[in-house]
Every structure is written in structure tokens, then in C-alpha cells.
Structure 1
Amino acid sequence: MKKIGLLPRLIIGLVCGILLGYLSQEVFHTDFFVRLFATFNGIFGGFLSYVIPLIIIGFVAPGIAELGTGAGKLLGLTTFLAYASTIISGTFAYLVGNTFLSRIIGAVGGQASNPEDALVKAFFTVDMPPIMGVMTALITAFLFGLGMAVIKNKSLYDVTKDLQTIVEKVIQSVIIPLLPFHIAGIFANMTYAGEVARIMQIFGMVFVMIILTHLVILVFQYGVAGTAAGKNPIAALRNMIPAYLTAIGTQSSAATIPVTLRCAKNNGISHGVADFAIPLCATIHLSGSTITLTICAMAVMMMSGIPVSLSSFFPFILMLGVTMVAAPGVPGGAVMAALGLLQSMLGFTEAQLGLMIALYLTQDSFGTACNVTGDGAIALLTDKFAQTSTAPAGAGK
């Protein structure tokens, strides 16, 4: 029997949560079951907060070390292009969200001054303080990553890779399996509090906005890359459709690499550059994920009546491009790596982090598809640079 994927499980959890909240309100006339889920959510959220610093160190430190140990101009160029693409995508997503989200939320039902006041409280809470703060973890990860790249110490690198493996196992074996129950608890509570109809309407419109933003960015990426490389942008983008569709199914940039490689080579990219750039971009180029995280975060903040400004979001976008480096090849890896930033830079509470996870993961596959499709555009530009830099003196194109 084929295992049920994460997205269907999340949808089942969401529907069951809404049904439980409705039955508790209209049939049972008790909040007992909702409070039971609220207690689980509190424990799960506390565990998530505890794991966040470990996720940051486990992902970011070895990711930076791996980038630093590479050699040659192509590594630096590809990394720069990938990061620039990610930042441009996140900034564009902010402009789109700032233009349309407030109108959407206002039309659906206005902003809630503090929606958490209406939620049912847990029976009890379990305090799980993290071993260090989020910013401390980020600084530690940067320090260790850069240090390992400079001194080329294999022992410390092996330790951080082992930590990354442990954290990935925790995500795959504990967090991901429990997420449907967490989502069920969130939506049961919101249904009982009378918030779910408004939230679901906003979810639907935000989903459409994100997909359209992905498509616009892909057209922009291939317009720039195709023009620079002397390729037909539309034809180049069309050749990447198999990679896009595969990523929707796998929800993993790493798992889609073989298909992405084949599509990139079909665009005339040299085998050497494609074999180098595509796997690298699978871990550092996250334009689609950044778009999704930015718009989802803005939606959650606006639904909670929290002011949104470019001055608060641009540093968040800049940090996303670094923190999500080497995010695990599992569904939802990007949002897991970003939880610390959401908490420390945007002030998200545990309830808002849970809502953010729900909103992000329901369309995670489309963000991944945008990531891997954009990898082909980065590879086109890298290939053009490689051809130019190796051309004989005086040779013209």
C-alpha cells in the first residue's frame, strides 16, 4: 500500500480539526477535546522552539563550510547569482504582498486586534527552554561555518554534519509525522473560536497570489538569463517544465536534481557547468521558498493586526537567503530552517509559527518547483560566464 504523502495528511488533519472544532461548538457544547489538542500543540510548539537553535547550527554551519571549501570563480559567481535571485524574489514578494494582502484581508473580514485571546487555552504547559537564543545560534553557525572553511578542519566539520543528520532525523521521524495533529489542533481551536472561515478564505487567495508570483519571477529569471546567454527565454523555460512537475511531486530540490540536470543540458548548458551548478543551486537557490515564506509571513502578521514594513522585512529576506542554505531535502525544510528568523526578527508567537507552518506546507511543492526551475536560469548565466572566461583572447561571439 502506497504511503500517504505529507500534503494529503496535512489536508486530512486540517479537515479533521475543523470538524472537531465545529462538533465541539455545535454538538458537544464543550471545549474539552479542543483543550486536549491545545495542550498537545503547546508541548509540540515548545519542543519546536527547543529544536530551532539546533536546526540553525546543524544546517547553516556545514552549509557555509561546504561553500567555503569550493574553489574557483564559478563557485563565487554561482553563489552570488543564487543569492541575488533569492533576494530579488523575496523583495518582489514583499511588494506584491504589500499591494494586495491588506485589501484581501480587509475584504474577507478585517484585521483581528489579538486573535489569540479568543483561542482555547491548554490544560497545562511544559517549559522547554532552548539551549541558546536564536541569534546566538545564528552567530555560532556563521562563526563555525566560516572557521571550518578557513582552517579546513575535517573533525569539526564531521561533528556538524553528524548534528545535521540527527536534526534531519528528528524532523523526518518526529516533527513531520506529528505535524498533521498539530495542524488539526490549530484549526480545531480556530473553528471553536469562530476564526476558521475567515482564515480559510484568506488561505485560498494567498495560495493563488503565491503561485502567480512564482510564475512572474520565473519569467523574469529566464528573461534575464536567456537574453544574456543568447537563448530563447520562452523555449528555455519550456524545457524546464519536466523539472517543475517533478518537484511538485517530490517536494524536494535534492530529489529532483537528476531531472533538473537533464532539463538544463537540454537548454545547451555544458555538462561540466550543469553538473556543478545544478546540485549547488539545489541547496542555495531558494527564490520560490523565499516568495512563499515572505507572503505567508505577511499574511499571518496582517491577520493578527501586526504592522508590516519594508524596514522589518528586508533584513528578514536577507537572512532567509543565508539561513535556508543546505536546508534538508525533506518536505518543509525551508520553513523549519526559517522558524528561528520568524521568531526572533518578526516576533512570531508559537501559535503564529503553527499557523505559518500550516500555510506554508500546503503549497510547499510549488515553492520547491519554482526553486528548481530557477536553478536552470542560474546555470545558464554561469555557463555563459564560463564560456566567456575561457574564450581565446580576441575571440568574439
Structure 2
Amino acid sequence: MNLSVKILIFMVVGAIVGVLFLQFGDYQCAKGLAEAECQAIQQKSWAYTYFVEGLFNIGGSLFINALKMLMVPLVLVSLVCGVCSLADPSKLGRLSLKSIGLYLLTTAIALTLALTLASIFQPGVGMPVGEASFDASEKPPLSDVIINIIPTNPFEAMVSANMLQIIVFAILVGLAITLSGEQGKRIGNWFEDANKVVMELVNIIMRFAPYGVFFLIAKTFATFPFSDLVGSLGSYFILVIVGLLLHAMITYSVLIALFTRLNPINFFKGMWPAMLTAFGTSSSNATLPVTMRCAETNLGVHKNTFSFTLPLGATINMDGTAIMQGIATLFIAQAYSVDLSMAQLLTVVLTATLASIGTAGVPSVGLILLAGVLTQVNLPVEAIGMILGIDRLLDMTRTAVNITGDAAVTTIVAKSEGEIDIDTFNDTNNRSNFDD
């Protein structure tokens, strides 16, 4: 059975199992107990303790940790190999300009789409504000981000998984190997061998992907109160999902068809395993090994392109997050009966687009970006607390959109550089099952 089918089946089963656990808690509440008492009963039940907090939590965490374990060695080794394989060092500059330019373009399009949808449907009108609270982490200044791109200690960067610093270090090592003659060739061959070993590790871990996704989805659906979606936040939730789907299916399809003349359907078929994994893990970085494997074996993108564009995209490209920010900004403004001017809307687009690079690698980056955007248009940052309760499922969906955007830009850049195997891209009957 194809890996994508396995993951999808286990994802659906996990959702059903999680809902059953949630309904068990709701049954206790139906007996007339207070909400706090119901929650306590559910969390103290042996089934909840041993399955949700035990088996599901442990199994899902093990799978995410295994993927994160591969992230640093995979990025380092594959990027060094990619730079070494560039016959023309100036090509690296072209890859950088094309990739960053397209990433900023897709983020701006995502924000424009989000603001348009929120302006038309107005999900925040009539929303009771209440006493929401949220403590925003401080966004690092752009100057510090630029300075810290160069690692003072590359080993510390690897330990802390600072992706921007790892990317820069790997590029410099690859260039040094290319310029070092025979000695460099020997080191380059070692990295090629190491890359083969790391890819085999990816194959091994991906065989457990269906089970890992099952545990993650089951735990999420067992602890997520769906009743929160029914009522005042329902329109916000649905509008964000619609925005994410429209951006993924229309924007990326148009860009791929326009710039590559390739069939977007083949693109989505090739990226399906990575999209499902991203939905289950809610982490672009954790999904990176799967994204890279899909780009190589399913889309036919050459290693010296995707080894640069995909790690960079996982770090700075946040189309899904941008859609959430745009809709959330207008949602909060409408809830507080604040009319944003056209200049303020343009400020939202510009701030969120540029800030996506300035907050690269920062935990809870979406909320930090949103806090910065709200500050720019004089909206209360504590209002983020209104949407925190339903952010988990939205986070899963926007992560899938984020990695799809990374792959779309990678495909466009690879086609422009002649670094894509068209036959592999079009061969939808021979997709990788991560067992070869």
C-alpha cells in the first residue's frame, strides 16, 4: 500500500479514536456535573491517563523527535553536497535571489487573500470581546537577525537547531570544498556517502510515519474541545481554513502552471506524503526530511536545488501563518469595532511579509508575528487570547500549507535552472513509498 494511503487511513482512524475519548468526557458532563468537575473526571479516568496522556503522547513524541533528529544532519550534509555539485558558484547567488523573492511574493499574496476574505465576510462583527489575555514574546530586531546569520560557533548552531546559521555554515563549507582541489574532492566524497546514509535513515523512520501520525492526531482530537468551534469563533475558524485551501490549491497551481508549464495536479500528488506528515506534526522543520525526499523522488528536483531552497523555506516562508495573521488581524479589529484604513491594511501586508524573515527560528513564531502586526495598527495584543483556544487545528493546517509553498517555490526555481527531471515529475504512477 502506498505510504500516502497508509498515513491518510491512520490519520482518519486516529481522529475517530480521539473523538471517542472526547465524547467519553462529554458523557460524564451530561450527568449534570459542572464543567470543571467533568474535565477532572475525564483527565483522571484510567483510559485517558493510559491512552491519551500515555500511549498517544509517547508515540507521537517519539515520532516527532525522530524527525527532528534527522533535521540538522540532513540539512548540513545535503546542502554541502548541493553546493559542491554547482559547476558555477554564481549559480548560488541566482538560487538565493529567486528563492527569497518568490517566498516573499507568495507570503504577500497570502496576506492579500486573507485580508480580502476577512473584509468580505467580517468574522469578527458582533464577537464578544470579554477579558482576553496574551503575553507576547519580544520579536528580535532585524539587525540582530542579520548579525546572527553568521554563527560564532557552528556546533552550537547545530545543537540549538538554528537553521539560518546552519544553512550559511553549510554553504561556506561547500564553497571551500569546491575551491580546495583534490583534498576538497576527498572531503566531498565523504559528504556524498554521509548523505546516502542519512537518506536511508529517512526511509527507516518514514516506515513508522502512519503510526506516528495516528498517535498525534488521536491525542489532538482527544483533548481538543470541538464545542469551541460552534459559536462566535466558528466563522473565524472556517474562514481561515477556506483561506488556506484557496491559497494552496489556486495560488500554487497558478504559479506552477505559469512559471513551469507543468501540471499542478502532479505536483500535489508528489507532495501528498509531506503534506499529511506536516498536518500531523504541525512542524515545518520536523517535516523537512519528508519534504526533501518527496521533492527528489516524486517531483524530480535535483539535490543541488532543493537542498538549498527547502531548508531556507522551512525557516523563512510562512504562507499559512500569513493567512492566519491577516484574518486574525481583521477579526480582532472587527471585534473591537475598529475600522482599518487602506494604509493600515498595506502596513499589515508589509509588516508581516518582512517580519517573516526577522523572526526565523523563533518559537511560536506565528503568535510573535501577529503581536507585531497588531502593534503596528494599534490593536490590543492581548486580544490574541481570544483565538488561542482553537489554534491547534489551524496550526496543523497552516503547517501543511507552509511546506507546500516551500515545495512550489523549489519546483519553480528548479525548472528555471534546468534542475528538474520532467519525466519523474509527470510519472504519477511511480511515487516513492520510502522503502527503496
Q: Distance in 1 between matches of 2:238 and 2:300?
A: 33
Task: Please point out which of 391, 404, 409 is paired with 1:360.
Answer: 391
In the TM superposition, what are the counterparts of 1:110-121 in structure 2 within 5 Å?
110=126, 115-116=129-130, 119=131
Q: What SS does structure 1 have at the residue aligned with 2:285? A: coil
Equivalent position of 1:220 in the other structure? 251
Equivalent position of 1:322 in the other structure? 354
User: What is the root-mean-square deviation in Å for CA atoms of aligned residues?
Assistant: 4.3
Q: Distance in 1 between matches of 2:292 and 2:391?
A: 27
Give 1:98 shift.
Answer: 0.5
Q: Contact 1:292 / 1:360 at 8 angstroms: preserved in 2?
A: no
Give 1:246 shift.
Answer: 0.8
Q: 1:206 to 1:343 in 2, by over 3 A?
A: closer
Task: Please point out which of 243, 255, 259 is paired with 2:290.
Answer: 259
Give 1:287 shift.
Answer: 0.6
In the TM superposition, what are the counterparts of 1:305-316 in structure 2 within 5 Å?
305-316=337-348
Query: Does residue 272 of the first structure (1) align with residue 300 of the second (2)?
Result: no
Q: Distance in 1 between matches of 2:268 and 2:151?
A: 41
Where structure 1 has 5 or more consecutive residues not aligned to the other structure, the ranges are: 28-69, 122-127, 166-179, 188-196, 389-397
Where structure 2 has 5 or more consecutive residues not aligned to the other structure, the ranges are: 1-13, 38-90, 164-219, 420-436
In the TM superposition, what are the counterparts of 1:124-143 in structure 2 within 5 Å?
141-143=141-143
Q: 1:337 to 1:120 in 2, by over 3 A?
A: closer
Task: Please point out which of 370, 381, 386 is paired with 2:401.
Answer: 370
In the TM superposition, what are the counterparts of 1:155-304 in structure 2 within 5 Å?
200-218=230-248, 219-265=250-296, 266-304=298-336
Give 1:24 shift.
Answer: 8.3
For residues 322-367 of structure 1, give each alpha carbon's deviation from its aligned partner in whole angstroms, at most 9, with x where no partner exists: 333364486xx23233154145213343541212433434411101
Query: Does residue 86 of the first structure (1) align with residue 107 of the second (2)?
Result: yes
Q: 1:380 to 1:206 in 2, by over 3 A?
A: same
Q: What SS does structure 2 have at the residue aligned with 1:378? A: helix
In the TM superposition, what are the counterparts of 1:15-164 in structure 2 within 5 Å?
72-101=93-122, 104-106=123-125, 110=126, 115-116=129-130, 119=131, 141-147=141-147, 154=152
Q: Contact 1:296 / 1:359 at 8 angstroms: preserved in 2?
A: no
Q: Distance in 1 between matches of 2:318 and 2:231?
A: 27
Q: 1:336 to 1:163 in 2, by over 3 A?
A: farther
Give 1:153 shift.
Answer: 7.2
1:298 partner letter: L
Q: Contact 1:323 / 1:337 at 8 angstroms: preserved in 2?
A: no
1:144 partner letter: D
Q: Distance in 2 between matches of 1:244 and 1:359?
A: 21
Q: Distance in 2 between matches of 1:200 and 1:374?
A: 30
1:273 partner letter: T
Q: Contact 1:240 / 1:264 at 8 angstroms: preserved in 2?
A: yes
Q: Contact 1:288 / 1:368 at 8 angstroms: preserved in 2?
A: yes
Q: 1:272 to 1:345 in 2, by over 3 A?
A: same
Give 1:72 shift.
Answer: 1.6
In the TM superposition, what are the counterparts of 1:321-360 in structure 2 within 5 Å?
321-325=353-357, 327-328=360-361, 333-349=364-380, 351-360=382-391
Q: Contact 2:317 / 2:356 at 8 angstroms: preserved in 1?
A: no
Q: Distance in 2 between matches of 1:251 and 1:329?
A: 15
Q: 1:327 to 1:337 in 2, by over 3 A?
A: farther
Q: How many residues align?
A: 281
Q: Distance in 2 between matches of 1:162 and 1:237?
A: 32
Q: What SS does structure 1 have at the residue aligned with 2:340? A: coil
Q: What SS does structure 2 have at the residue aligned with 1:240? A: helix
Give 1:262 shift.
Answer: 2.2
Normalising by structure 1, we get a TM-score of: 0.59
For residues 173-196 of structure 1, give each alpha carbon's deviation from its aligned partner in whole angstroms, at most 9, with x where no partner exists: xxxxxxx9xxx9xx9xxxxxxxxx
Q: Distance in 2 between matches of 1:222 and 1:241?
A: 14
Percent sequence identity is 22
